[in-house]
Chain A
Amino acid sequence: MCSLALFPPPLPPGQTTLCESNNELLSGANNSEDAQDSGPLSLHFPRESLKLHSRTESSSKAAFLDHSETLWMRSAAAWRDGGFTGLLNEVTTSHAEVPKWLSVTSGCILALLRWVSSFHGSLYPHVTLSSEDMIAEFSQVLNWPDCVVRAFAWHPHTDKFAVALLDDSIKIYNPKSAISPTLKHRLQRNVAAVQWKPLCASALAVACQNCVLVWNVDPCSLSTRPSSGCAQVLSHPGHSPVTSIAWSPSGSLLVSASPLDTAMMVWDVAAESCVPLQRVGGGGVTFLSWSPDGSHILACTPSALFRVWETRMWTCERWPCIKGRCQSGCWSPDGSRLLFTVQGEMVIYALTFSGSPGVPPSMVKGPQTAVVVADLSETTFNGPDGDIIVGGEIQSLSWDPRGERLAVLLKGDPQAANRPAIIAVFKTRANPIFELLPCGFVQGELGAEARLMEFHPNFQHGALLTVCWSSGKITHIPFYFLSSGVSHVDLSRSPPLPHPHERPADFANQSLFTELIS
């Protein structure tokens, strides 16, 4: 089992990780001019440049003078705004105008409803959160409410990507075109996730507070502000806020999840119809991840339970956890192995699925227990400026599409200065046995914490990790390596590497040990 103690120590402050080459991570001095040159796709969104919403409350009622309406008008308005509970509230509060029995009855019903919902809340504490807090709680982004870049998605086949910003707009960048369209929509609020549709050039799904939007951004269009008519709105009563979405790798279906809805929605996007898949237990669905071969979906719930759905007949396996809910997960490229982390534990677990797609689902036997493959408990590194503690709980996992590098975003502790959030990168190997080997830490500029990371889906020379920093910067860190599965023919095509730095010699002969999966 791999642990953080085997890692090379973090860089001293002021150094940033540039790339991996010849099996080591190279770093450079923190030079802002260099960072600008590192590529056309390195972006910077300063917080000041975004126009944020000035008002926070959802209704503009406070700005207007109060005037008296009849009871009927107020009741109708309350029904429209607040539904049944709003109506009851209105009736209960206006004692003077309604008969006594009516106000007493509605008061009783209201109290009963509150009691029931508090009971529900004690079973599932997350239902008492506001929807923004809920997205922050279950998002894969570290410290989501404060994040300038709230979501990021590479296009699965080309070099373009979409960035969702704090001001609820989405920008699309394409290195081949000078136009970067900005997407804004009335319903596009509190974006929790974005994802491009596979096998399609234009469709981008956006998980918003109340719905899922599917934008159709014509790549040949010259418009910088596609109208909201380009977006399909997928909403279902009770299915909000949406915290996670996942496209099937074949591009035909989209699943969406909400922590308040026990059903997971499978959308046929073209027809805008959905099939709710409901199972008892869990209290909602927080995070979804579709395996790259399309055969399984990981669905995490807010309680200590997650499910792995099989996508042919849509049946699921229940996986109860001991400690907490499943926070994050990722699949190996062939869909046979699932890595996941549990809140409150500092380890990475692995599950192996041996089912080949041809075997009927009833024959596929899943594994009986999950195996710990990496230990990320806190480790102290002695640096020149004092000790740095690395490790702890894990925010998200990301596995590169070739299955050779695994990036782990560690939460750190925002209060303690010497416990920053940091990305630890592992080398992974599936053959002959599955093993995680230490690669190194990825660090940004001074004062910038990693918030969000994603691997480029088809980088030619290895893996390319895109990291969004708390400063609003987006940088790309390439890992140059030769894939073990690919023949070593295109060696000559590897790009000129930056000048390698001095390498600390004492890590060269460290023993790496791995654990067999029993």
Chain B
Amino acid sequence: MFPSETSCWFIRKVIWWRAAASIAWSVLLLPPTTAVFVILSKFSFLHPIQTVSDCLSLLMSANSIFSFILLGGVVIMVGFLILEYYTVIPTIACSKIALLGQLLHPRQVVNSLAHGLMGMIVGWCCAVTVGHRYETLGYPARSSDGHPQMCLNEYHLVFLLAGAFVGFSHSLLGVIHNINYVYFHTVQQYKYLHFKGSLPLVVKCSAIQAFYSMRNFIVVYFFLGYIPKTWICKTLTLHLDSSVHPLDSIAGLLDLSLLYHLWISATFLLFTWYITLLLFRIFVTEVYSFPVKSTFTDDSHQCLPKVLTDNQPMILKFLALQDLALLSKHSPSRRSEVFSLSQPGGHPHNWNTVSKECLALLADLTQRLVAYHETVATNGRAKSLSSGSERKTSSETSATSGTEDLMSPRPTFLMKTPASIFARSVARGPHSPLTSPFTSDLDSPFASPALRRLTAPVDQCSPWHGSIQSPHIMRRGPQLWSTSTESHANGSPPPSPASVPSPKQEPAKPSFLAQFLQNRKEQVKNFMAKRVLIMYLFNKLPEASSQALFADSQAHIWALEALSYLVQASFTEDQFGVVQTTLPSILSSMLHLQEAVDRHFKLPHASSKPVRSTNSMEDFAFKTLRFALRATLKTSIYRITTTFGSHLNAVQMSGEHRKRLQQFLEFKE
């Protein structure tokens, strides 16, 4: 399930326990939920007392105990599936075809089938609980010639199919809406209060989604209902009772009581599953406090500086960053541990590791943005690849070289590909297909799940994905990635940043061949553009690439907050001046990022306003992360400038950055 390596103590000791607790709570919440469901499904205005007694006797019966056990099993299963499929970085499909690939991926298909099966089980439980005409699949009746025979109870069948349909569509919608994405809230609340606050939302959206699922199910059943019906009849040698109305007709489906029972059952199903999901999210995103310094060497792998540098389970890195951001904000005693010097030697190891890691994250995002901007700029003017783009690239080279100078203690290239931080298991794919984004069919359903998980954010966000590409860029693309993967795979950082072959040097003069291929590509593109279906599938979804670029920006936001708060606190708390040595690089990497973000938001599709989140269970947070990042970045720079004020004039930095910083000092940004 998870790579059983060094950092797995966290998965074993924390995540599993948290998941287990959340599943236990959702099982415990099952009886009250079921009771409410029973009351709602059996309620009649005319006999309120009888309803209550009916419900009580039903809840005590052996049948309902068996249903409970089944439902509990389903909830546990759902909990395990959530634990297996959750992610802290959303997978964002840049085009329809990519989305289709996600849906048809074997891992996902297994998930959907499992959900469908569990939906069917819940449907059976609901049918049994509601009772009356829904209770059994067959019933004895007399055929037209007076011969006794078993007949198919279509109502029961409809319940089973509806359950399966709702479960299946829940799983599919989950992929489309990134329901597995676990979002960390900016407002920390205690678990109980958080749960209580979200409960009305869960009720509301499960009712709404149940309504839409039922509508879709009825349409499907109306047209295709005869298929399962005849199949069941054949396999179980049941007969169709000709005296009752068939349900896949308009008259049969206009049965209000049936519709109500279907809807309430679907709401019940979705509600229990959403509660499981909600509890899992609340438990797993709970703040975990890592010790900054460990008293025993055995625990040294559990302390914050060590954990921060690990990329292994992403959730661990995210929780560590969250803890770092919180400690820098709220806790002077833990801050002092970060600023402290090591006992023999007197080195600020803690601060060095923390700041290096945060700066590496920022530099990585800057690199990604610059690379993205470059490709978009060259893609935008496909025909004239000459002077303009070259000017652009040269300026970018200068920008990146600036970053390299700054980041000299740690080569930025290590962190350049998104994969290197995203990966849940880097070690598995040293020969990762990053080198060739086209040849390896990452979205194909046959790629291994691990590989897919590893590379998903990359191939999704790679700007080449899903559109017919210029060979020029195709040639460049692999180069761009291969440098990073090589250095990554070797594991040995290049001796000096200057010697690293910059990928930006590759885009040389456009050769004759490139021009020729460019023209060819245009022709192919024109031909394809006329095919509506292909265009529909391959057209990029607006904003998706921008969203994908910032998919993991929660980490960057925490890094920015942690750095800025620590620097702010260092003004009064840092006794040994350990922060002073890194202040220039912190400032310049923030300003670099600011520049890149500014440029990114000037692109079309990037600068549009955040979508308002509708009331639903899926988190829209990933769609607005880029705006949050932009705001946090500015606030962080202002936090440093307002704390240090004119002292910043003594900090060494390039003229351009000084000018920019002056703007910040005068509050003109």
Contacts and interface: CB of A to CB of B under 8 A. Distances in A.
Interface of A: 155, 157-158, 199-202, 219-220, 232, 250-253, 266, 268-273, 275-278, 312-315, 356-358
A251 B632 CA distance: 9
A129 B186 CA distance: 35
A357 B620 contact: no
B262 interface: no
Contacts of B624: 270-273
Nearest to A295: B330
17 contacts: A158-B667, A199-B635, A200-B634, A201-B668, A219-B668, A232-B609, A250-B639, A251-B639, A270-B610, A270-B628, A271-B621, A271-B627, A272-B610, A273-B613, A273-B620, A314-B189, A358-B334
A158 to B, nearest CB: 5
A220 B660 CA distance: 13
A357 B331 contact: yes
Contacts of B331: 357-358
Contacts of B334: 358
A275 B187 contact: yes
Contact of B329 (A250, A266, A276, A277): A250
Given A201-B667, A358-B333, A275 B197 contact: yes
B235 interface: no
Given A253-B187, A270-B628, 13 more contacts: A155-B667, A199-B642, A200-B631, A200-B634, A200-B638, A201-B667, A219-B667, A219-B668, A219-B669, A271-B628, A312-B330, A357-B331, A357-B332
Nearest 4 pairs between A and B by C-beta?
A271-B624, A270-B631, A199-B638, A201-B667
B188 interface: yes
B190 A313 contact: yes
B667 A314 contact: no
B110 to A, nearest CB: 33
A357 B187 contact: no
Chain B CB count within 10 A is highest, among A158, A202, A272, A273, for: A273
Tell me the interface secondary structure of chain B in the complex. Answer: helix
B186 A278 contact: no
Contacts of A277: 187, 197
Nearest to B637: A199
Interface in B600-628: 609-610, 612-613, 620-621, 624-625, 627-628
A357 B632 CA distance: 22
Contact of A157 (B329, B613, B628, B642): B642
A335 to B, nearest CB: 13
Interface in B42-100: none
Contacts of A158: 666-667
B550 to A, nearest CB: 12
B630 interface: yes
Contacts of B197: 275-278
A201 B663 CA distance: 10
A275 B198 CA distance: 9
A314 B639 contact: no
Contact of A270 (B333, B620, B627, B666): B627
A110 to B, nearest CB: 20
Chain A CB count within 10 A is highest, among B635, B638, B667, for: B667
B187 A314 contact: yes
Contacts of B330: 312, 357-358
Interface in B655-669: 666-669
Contacts of B1: none
A278 B330 CA distance: 24
B193 interface: yes
A247 to B, nearest CB: 11
Contacts of A250: 329, 635, 639
B185 interface: yes
B189 A201 contact: no
A271 B547 CA distance: 13
Contacts of B634: 199-200
Contact of B639 (A199, A201, A202): A199
Nearest to B190: A313
Nearest to B329: A250
A424 to B, nearest CB: 32
A389 B631 CA distance: 50
Contacts of A220: 668
A252 B638 contact: no
A142 to B, nearest CB: 31
B193 A315 contact: yes
Contacts of B609: 232, 272
A357 B330 CA distance: 6
Chain B CB count within 10 A is highest, among A220, A270, A277, A315, for: A270
B181 to A, nearest CB: 14
A313 B642 CA distance: 27
A271 B554 CA distance: 12
Contacts of B188: 312-314
Given A201-B668, A358-B331, A273 B621 contact: yes
A270 B635 CA distance: 12
A121 B342 CA distance: 65
A250 B628 CA distance: 14
Given A251-B638, A273-B620, A358-B330, A157 B667 contact: yes
A181 to B, nearest CB: 14
Given A270-B631, A271-B624, A252 B612 contact: no
B667 A252 contact: no
Interface in B136-188: 185-188
A199 B638 CA distance: 5
A90 to B, nearest CB: 26
Nearest to A276: B197
B183 to A, nearest CB: 10
Contacts of B628: 268, 270-271
A251 B620 CA distance: 22
Interface in B309-361: 329-334
Interface in B491-506: none
B667 A271 contact: no
B145 to A, nearest CB: 47
Chain A CB count within 10 A is highest, among B613, B632, B634, for: B634
Contacts of B190: 313, 315
A90 B270 CA distance: 36
A315 B639 CA distance: 27
B667 to A, nearest CB: 4
B620 A200 contact: no
A47 B189 CA distance: 47
A268 B631 CA distance: 10
B635 A251 contact: yes
Nearest to A199: B638
A152 B190 CA distance: 36
A128 B338 CA distance: 55
Contacts of A272: 609-610, 612-613, 624
Interface string B435-458: 000000000000000000000000
B407 to A, nearest CB: 26
Interface string B184-204: 011111100100010000000
A253 to B, nearest CB: 7
Given A273-B621, A278-B197, A313-B188, A252 B333 contact: no
Contacts of A252: 186, 632, 635
Contacts of A201: 638, 667-669
Nearest to B634: A200
Contacts of A155: 667
A202 B663 CA distance: 13
Contacts of A275: 185, 187, 189, 197
Nearest to A269: B631
A270 B550 CA distance: 14
A187 to B, nearest CB: 14
A448 to B, nearest CB: 32
Contacts of A251: 635, 638-639
Chain A CB count within 10 A is highest, among B187, B331, B333, B612, for: B187
A356 B333 CA distance: 11
B329 A268 contact: no
